[in-house]
Structure 1
């Protein structure tokens, strides 16, 4: 008899719950009684990630006081991030937890930083918690999402390979020679220059002395199948990157600016007046990013057959430091007939030859390829492995 009574009580209780769930006016709790979670701490602070960081390691914890919906409900806490001072209109999610803490791994924090910077530099993110009720009667009204207070966190993410605007080259006897392998970059393979680092804009130019001879365009060192070929040789025209057609032929030797757009596959070739240009005895790089620091210039070499194009085929630069180009081991600038070029980004830029020019920042250390044109101030400062990439 006792077992029958217990079973009957259970059935009546279940029936009551089901009838309650069928009530469309069911109210779980008034929204005005909800209490938002309180973000207490985000550990660690000022972390610097490097190539030696174990991205699976635990850095610390995110700690908070739980939200209160006025009844016992399973709540999911989502850690969101936005750029410092952002409005969280498009936040990213770092991780989630159903308790009052979240284990923060190196990968979670580093990945968050990579959403807001392409460079290895300190980044500050604003973080908050968003709550979601993960399980509730489907007939119950949707509960209001709650947000915590905001805390800022500063750290330096590690970016293994910073995306860079692609390098393109000229090859041929009109400049140096026909060697197309990566080892010839800076010699037979002469890099085009560009005045900006917009990866979507593929406009480049090369100003220098051309022999009365021929060239092709190279999109990938060592690969002739994707070389740029021409239907004709004129002041302007079209080319293709399937190596279908002939070489561009310079009818007369002289200084020219050869400009190309690899988006439209069009080119122009314009005579350049270099008659009044200063011919420097030496040009080098100087700065705390360079091998000799600020005390002395690291000399560059003239490109074969040129009087204004200088190259360093391989040099070790120090990350987090800066450099400039300097002529004749002197700080004289253009106003005194000298060369003291600075200000700009990498890998491409146009340096300013004035007494007020700034430095060129080198954010990541390593082996670099550098070429500089003292006629135009244009330069390329590119990690060697990126320049040589096929």
Structure 2
């Protein structure tokens, strides 16, 4: 009798396992129900206004159904009408049934894309539902709306980069990356010249939303990103759309030239100012010329126009008189590297 019971339980377990596997296989192979955009409606006109810039715009939708319970990530996307979302603008992300954005934020992104203020733009809007890389995303039907931005000075959206190199201070407005297209892709330089090499990337000047990770993949509240010795200046790219990051090649910046103590044979290293997020050096120079260089001549900068803006392979920078000088190299303006040369005596 005991053997019969054991055999029955084994057969029952196999039957349930087969049924469960078959059910999961069937569910995964079914076509999921796409999300349905409910607001704004197709044909609606949205006129952004500087007087109501802080008010929220709400993009609402009915959730997708993948056939099983899962945490679905929704992204509302805008694109110029008729472009088939070749270059979409991600409005925002949510795990709920709506995505919100302030009028000011959307306006900045539109102005950053080059759209003219006070002119209506025909834009397609859709909702993307994703479970991650293992399952293909599904999209809502496309609605077409009109969006009119208002005139304002362009301010690039930014991402804060606190780390051991600057005292773990997310409120430092100088240690930031910029999104020059306001598209959630941020790029810039970080100067890690000491400490443990650990840092993070934060959406605001606080720890509310921070990202870490490893092997090029970002994770909210993830482990510290690490740069190992030898330290230097690194170009950092953060893509919040795909939750990825890239850390470029180390660049050990210094100055070189017959005005410097080491002449044209070697670089004199620059030091890092963690408060201002600039590279600086104070030293005695003699009449002559110098340039900025990062280890070899493939990465050298001079000043062709003598306007304080550095150019790759630019002209030598002259030193007219012997003396003590402070030189500062600054990357804080997106797409531009500037320098300052001050004679101290």
Pairwise TM-score range, normalised by the shorter structure: 0.3 to 0.5
- Bigger strand share: 2
Greater Cα radius of gyration, structure 1 or 2: 1
TM-score, with length taken from structure 1: 0.31
